[in-house]
Structure 1
């Protein structure tokens, strides 16, 4: 349903933020939900935490806190809100619940999953510990709470190397992203034993694609997420987390740039950098795109869907996340 004139007037300042990436014809469709979500947040003392892969109308217009997985974990630990809506995938909502056991955490769509989280189980981690006794286990936050509970410490793409080196071990097990593990191994003297998981978004990028981009767009700066294959990272000008990519664009202001990551990332960064030309060959995350303004509104209105975690795994999973936040 298109917004009324009154709603359009109230939401006009929000549209000003995103007019470069959302056509005027689309805004009346978004404005009604945006306006309702803002009212519901006030009524319920709620905040929306949005990952960098959310679409601009979510990221820039209804989110209170935004960032990569590490930033969202830190923000979740500090918020005073009574209700947290996680505009992201399920493992992120679980992490928010681990850090806020007494608060209501909502995920707008229960099917918003993650190929990495689905690539490993708690039983797999226990088998790895049996196979490599005494070797510490670093688990990427892109995993279930049950997997985190079997780990010694968590990491994100933004702090993986620091976490690995903080353990003071000659070798560590790093789960579940094989490419992230290999990319971290190239930056440290610590021997890393990897699992075989991959991100369905980042594994599709190729070195040939980068070479074609450089041919088609001379002088382009290529930024790659460390979940990309190592040969892709080697071809890029910079590799880092989504927060790292954002900071790079802000610090270096490349005239033309491509972000080898999920599609919405470029749109969200472009809002703050109108002087940068973003080339957009990207890969869509179908799980992130399950989160919409409509189901965020429903989550707040109907308390859908409340995130719960098995009490048997909660203390150990929380400890692994808190250890990461302390690094």
Structure 2
């Protein structure tokens, strides 16, 4: 069986659309109707006219699609496609945390559960985080969660002091500064580009810091440059496709692995076979209570209005 042909057939038969994150395997990105970062995928999910959304990403992303599309069936190829950052912020613990700061505006990074979003005033992504923080009056205190690295970066860029939840992404904390500096000595003409979820000592070495889509655009604008890329290695597929002449080197991880770069095990849980199976059986399906969905929708809509 040709999985790609069968997936295409089922998509047409069931009026389905496939949304995929840049960190998915290349073969999934190839068959997706839209590939993007968290902001782009949220914006696309809001526009979808299909009856079924297959979200080739992780659980919180599929939840976001369901929050924005209550009447559509949202499928995730594998429910085990979680997120270490979202897992680092359990809803009940977060509720107790924000109760300690009653007069604070709560800003959450989109990499969190629907339950955490429901306790939030406004959501952000790495693409629009600075804009979201700057939209809040300067005399208003802020809680930022769950990513402490992104939070510290935003404090530095905006000059705001924020109360930070102590969460992080295991992938973006896996980069080795020692190996990175050795790599830079081997390629002194290379520029380091990094995602703001990376640790502070990695960000200090970077020539460009931005979202996944922002990093892609940076490479597009200077295609002759050599880059060391400090984010999940899945982005390299799209970068090489969009900018074939650029020299792209994955930033090294602390642990030795076959590609010497960081990969998200959760993102790689999804496969073509699972994608086919979920379209065929229309499961696993993401389901949320209407009360939770409406509560989580408010801060997402606030973000989307700021991102027009």
TM-score (norm 2): 0.93
User: Which residue number in structure 1 is paired with residue 54 of structure 2?
Assistant: 85
Runs of 4+ in 1 over 4 A off after TM superposition: none
Matched ranges for 1:181-260 at <5 A: 181-260=151-230
User: Which residue number in structure 1 is paired with residue 118 of structure 2?
Assistant: 149
In structure 1, runs of 5+ residues without a counterpart are 2-31
- Give the deviation of 1:274 after TM superposition: 1.3
User: Which residue number in structure 1 is paired with residue 231 of structure 2?
Assistant: 261
| CA contact 1:48–1:65 (8 Å) conserved in 2 | yes
| CA contact 1:221–1:254 (8 Å) conserved in 2 | no
* Alignment deviations for residues 44-82 of structure 1 (CA, whole Å, 9 cap, x no partner): 1111000010111111x2100111001000000001111
- Give the deviation of 1:196 after TM superposition: 0.7
- 2:305 corresponds to 1:321: no
- Give the deviation of 1:165 after TM superposition: 1.3
- 2:253 corresponds to 1:283: no
* Alignment deviations for residues 138-175 of structure 1 (CA, whole Å, 9 cap, x no partner): 01111110000011111111111111111214331100
* Alignment deviations for residues 204-227 of structure 1 (CA, whole Å, 9 cap, x no partner): 113323311211112011110000
Aligned-partner Cα distance in 1 for 2:143–2:176 = 26
In structure 2, runs of 5+ residues without a counterpart are 253-260
- 2:106 corresponds to 1:137: yes
- Give the deviation of 1:254 after TM superposition: 4.0
In our comparison, the structure showing a higher alpha carbon Rg is 1
* Alignment deviations for residues 122-149 of structure 1 (CA, whole Å, 9 cap, x no partner): 2223222221111000011111100000
| CA contact 1:213–1:220 (8 Å) conserved in 2 | no
**What's the Cα RMSD here?**
1.2
SS at match of 2:166: coil
Residue 98 (structure 1) aligned to one of 55, 67, 77: 67
Aligned-partner Cα distance in 2 for 1:169–1:95 = 29
User: Which residue number in structure 2 is paired with residue 75 of structure 1?
Assistant: 44
- 2:278 corresponds to 1:309: no
Aligned-partner Cα distance in 2 for 1:202–1:253 = 24
* Alignment deviations for residues 221-245 of structure 1 (CA, whole Å, 9 cap, x no partner): 1110000011111111111000000
Aligned length: 296
* Alignment deviations for residues 15-64 of structure 1 (CA, whole Å, 9 cap, x no partner): xxxxxxxxxxxxxxxxx1111111111111111000010111111x2100
| CA contact 1:83–1:105 (8 Å) conserved in 2 | yes
| CA contact 1:201–1:283 (8 Å) conserved in 2 | yes
SS at match of 1:202: coil
Residue 85 (structure 2) aligned to one of 112, 116, 125: 116
* Alignment deviations for residues 78-102 of structure 1 (CA, whole Å, 9 cap, x no partner): 0111100000000000000000000
